[in-house]
Amino acid sequence: MKKNLVILSGAGMSAESGIKTFRDTGGLWEDYSIQEVATPEGYARNPELVIRFYNERRKQLKDVQPNLGHKILGELEEHFNVTIITQNVDNLHERGGSKNIIHLHGELVKVCSTRDPQNPRLVRELAEDAYEVKIGDLADDGSQLRPFIVWFGEPVPKIEEAARMVDTADIFVIIGTSMNVYPAAGLLDYVKPGCEIYLIDPHPVDVKSSLPIHVIRKGASEGMEELKKILLTQ
Ligand code: OAD
């Protein structure tokens, strides 16, 4: 029987694809402050700027490719039941071949209603040739379309589903996240006794857990190559 492999990924997963991480660049996201572009207050203050910012992020998706790390995770589905829990809003896990992906913080390729952002009936996926949202584009409830992103201060509706998956893990892998943002970072508390835990990151990560963790101090691609070898020779 295949083992359950559960991954928690963060911005570092996509760094080698050319997407900047958050905390490696002094709290700025592509030169904007998180307050400006990743909070409901920032959006209320300047919706034009926020909508333009996410249009640019969406445009960037067309210029980037999944890296070897994403691809190895896709390939591992042959050997394991893989679930990816990602804090990333890009679509590189999908494009790397992974099938079961929980996007904790939303998805760039989707838009939703400003009035009722988490109502699943009002969420829509944009076609690749229609990635640009304009002021005046409306959701089905008549309010402005906004990015389908979980901003700071907003509830994280997928966290319970993610916690249930972590609870089923035989192997849990943390990759490319500074483990600063909750509730995502708290998912480690849901691993069951006996679960093997790996952490892949080129920099030290302060993980608050007393559980034994195998640290692979490497970037996503090299780190996933090493992990693949370990997992397939066990
Ligand atoms: P961070 O920017 O906080 O952390 C990125 C991590 O990736 C750090 O630990 C880096 O050392 C590591 N890293 C850098 N290069 C890497 C590489 N080549 N391979 C592997 N790892 C590498 O990003 P997150 O932890 O993802 O939220 O941040 C969590 C959330 O905070 C994000 O989802 C976002 C952000 O503000 C929202 O947008 C709601």
- pLDDT (tens digit per residue) in 213-226: 999 999 999 999 99
Residue numbers of the domain that contains 140:
20-63+106-149
What region does 175 belong to: left with phi over 0, alpha with psi -120 to 50, or beta?
Answer: beta
- pTM above threshold 0.75: yes
**Residue 96 shares a structural domain with residue 5:** yes
69 or 23, which is more confident: 69
Distance 213 CA to ligand 1 centre (A): 19
Per-residue pLDDT tens digits for 149-168: 999 999 999 999 999 999 99
Q: How far apart are CA 129 and CA 90, in angstroms?
A: 16
With the most atoms of ligand 1 within 8 angstroms of its CB, the residue from 17, 21, 50, 180 to mutate is 21
Verify whether ligand 1 is closer than 6 Å to residue 54 (CB atom).
no
Average pLDDT over residues 8-18: 97
CATH code, domain carrying 92: 3.40.50.1220
**160 and 200 inside one domain:** yes
Domain CATH code at residue 49:
3.30.1600.10
My answer on whether 142 and 227 are in the same domain is no
Residue 105 designated active-site: yes
Whether residues 43 and 112 share a domain: the answer is yes
- Flag whether pLDDT at 27 surpasses 70: no
- Using CA atoms, how far residue 195 sits from 42, 58, 214, 233, in Å, is 40, 36, 12, 17
For the record, the structure tokens of 165 come out as 């998956």
Report how far residue 112's alpha carbon sits from residue 149's, in angstroms, rounded to the nearest whole number.
Answer: 9
Walk across the sheet containing 214-216 and list its strands.
Answer: 101-103, 80-86, 3-9, 171-175, 196-200, 214-216
What pLDDT was estimated at residue 209? Answer: 87
Of the three residues 89, 123, 149, the one that is the final residue of a domain is 149
The CB of 203 under 6 Å from ligand 1? The reply is yes
